[in-house]
Amino acid sequence: MGKGRRIEEKNVSKIKFIRNIIIVLIVLGIIAFILWISPDYAVPKQEGISLIINNRNVTSSERLKQDVIIENGIIYLSKGDLSNFFDKYLYYDQKYNQYITTSGTKEASIVIGENKMTVNGITSNIKGTIIQRGDVTYFPISDMNEVYDIEIKNISNTNTVTIDSLDRQQIQAQVSKKVSVKYKAKFLSATLEKLEEGANVIVISEDENWAKIRTENGTIGYVKVKDLTNKKTVREDKKEIDPLNGQKVSLVWDYYSEYAKAPNRNGTTINGVNVVSPTFFALEQLGQGNIIDKVGQEGIEYINWAKQNNYQIWPIVSNESRIETTSEVLNDYKLRQKLINNIMELVEKYNLDGINMDFENMYKDDKDMYSRLIIELYPRLKEKGLKLSVDVTAPDGSETWSLCFDRNVIADNSDYIIFMAYDQHTASSTEAGTVAGYNWVKTNVDKFLGQEGVEKEKLILAIPFYTRVWTENANGELIGKNAEPMNEIYSIIPANVEKKWDEDLRQYYVEFADGANLKKIWIEDEASIKEKLLLARDYDLAGVAFWEKDRETEEVWNLVNEIIFNK
**Number of domains into which the chain is organized:** 3
- State which of 94, 122, 154 marks the end of a domain: 154
SS3 447: helix
Query: 522 — phi, psi (to 5°)?
Result: -95, 105
The identity of residue 130, as a single letter, is I
Mean predicted confidence (pLDDT) in 286-302? 97
Quick check: 340 and 376 in contact, CB under 8 A?
yes
> Is the same domain home to 173 and 285?
no
Q: Distance between CA 264 and CA 258 in Å, rounded? A: 16
Cβ-Cβ contacts under 8 Å for 18 (sequence gap 6 or more): none
In this structure, of 135-149, 176-190, 216-230, 323-337, the range with the lowest mean pLDDT score is 176-190
The identity of residue 50, as a single letter, is S
pLDDT tens by residue, 3-59? 555 666 566 666 776 777 777 666 666 555 554 555 666 677 777 899 999 999 999
Domain at 178, CATH number: 2.30.30.40
> Is the same domain home to 192 and 340?
no
Can you give the length of the chain in residues? Answer: 567
Mean predicted confidence (pLDDT) in 288-301? 97
Cβ-Cβ contacts under 8 Å for 383 (sequence gap 6 or more): 105, 106, 120
Task: Order across the sheet with 131-133: list the strands.
Answer: 69-71, 74-78, 136-140, 131-133
pLDDT band at 60 (very low <50, low <70, confident <90, very high): confident
pLDDT tens by residue, 309-328? 999 999 999 999 999 999 99
Burial string for 33-54 (b: 16+ CB within 10 Å, else e) reads: eeeeeeebeeeeeeeebbbbbe
pLDDT tens by residue, 140-167? 999 999 999 999 999 999 999 999 999 9
Domain membership of residue 111 (yes or no) is yes
> Is the same domain home to 95 and 213?
no
Domain membership of residue 94 (yes or no) is yes
Domain membership of residue 443 (yes or no) is yes
Burial of 101 (0-12, 13-18, 19+ CB in 10 A): buried
Domain membership of residue 294 (yes or no) is yes
Region for 87 from its dihedrals, namely left if φ exceeds 0, alpha if ψ lies in -120 to 50, beta otherwise:
beta
Neighbours of 266 (CB within 10 A): 10
pLDDT band at 567 (very low <50, low <70, confident <90, very high): confident
Residue 306 CA to its chain's centroid (Å): 28
pLDDT for the residue numbered 63: 86
> Is the same domain home to 81 and 205?
no
Are β-strands 56-57 and 500-502 bridged in parallel, bridged antiparallel, or unpaired? unpaired
> Is the same domain home to 394 and 458?
yes
pLDDT for the residue numbered 35: 47
- Which helix (H) or strand (E) segment holds residue 150: the answer is strand 150-155
pLDDT for the residue numbered 45: 73
Domain membership of residue 197 (yes or no) is yes
Rg (CA), the chain: 33
Are β-strands 459-464 and 466-472 bridged in parallel, bridged antiparallel, or unpaired? unpaired
Which of 183, 233, 193 shows the shortest CA–CA distance to 217?
193
Instruction: Reply yes or no on whether the pLDDT at 433 is more than 80.
Output: yes
- State which of 101, 127, 154 marks the end of a domain: 154
Mean predicted confidence (pLDDT) in 173-194? 93
> Is the same domain home to 548 and 439?
yes
pLDDT tens by residue, 75-111? 999 999 999 999 999 999 999 999 999 999 999 999 9
CA separation, residue 187 to residues 45, 61, 190, 192, 411 (Å): 21, 23, 9, 13, 48
Mean predicted confidence (pLDDT) in 355-363? 98
The identity of residue 557, as a single letter, is W
Domain at 300, CATH number: 3.20.20.80
> Is the same domain home to 326 and 427?
yes
Burial string for 447-486 (b: 16+ CB within 10 Å, else e) reads: bbeeebebeeebbbbbbbbbbbbbbbeeeeeeeebeebbb
Domain membership of residue 243 (yes or no) is no
Task: Order across the sheet with 281-283: list the strands.
Answer: 291-293, 281-283, 316-318, 354-358, 387-392, 416-420, 459-464, 543-547, 249-254, 275-278, 312-313
Across all residues in the chain, what is the average pLDDT? 94
Burial string for 335-357 (b: 16+ CB within 10 Å, else e) reads: bbbbbbebbbebbeebebbbbbb
DSSP letter string over 153-183? EEEGGGTEEEEEETTS-EEEEEESS-EEEES
Range of the structural domain that residue 191 is part of: 169-235
- Which helix (H) or strand (E) segment holds residue 483: the answer is strand 478-485
CA dihedral 80, 82, 87, 89 (to 10 degrees): -30
Cβ-Cβ contacts under 8 Å for 72 (sequence gap 6 or more): 127, 128
- State which of 210, 235, 260 marks the end of a domain: 235
Residues 162, 222, 175, CA angle at the centre, nearest 5°?
85
Query: 411 — phi, psi (to 5°)?
Result: -65, -35
> Is the same domain home to 206 and 269?
no
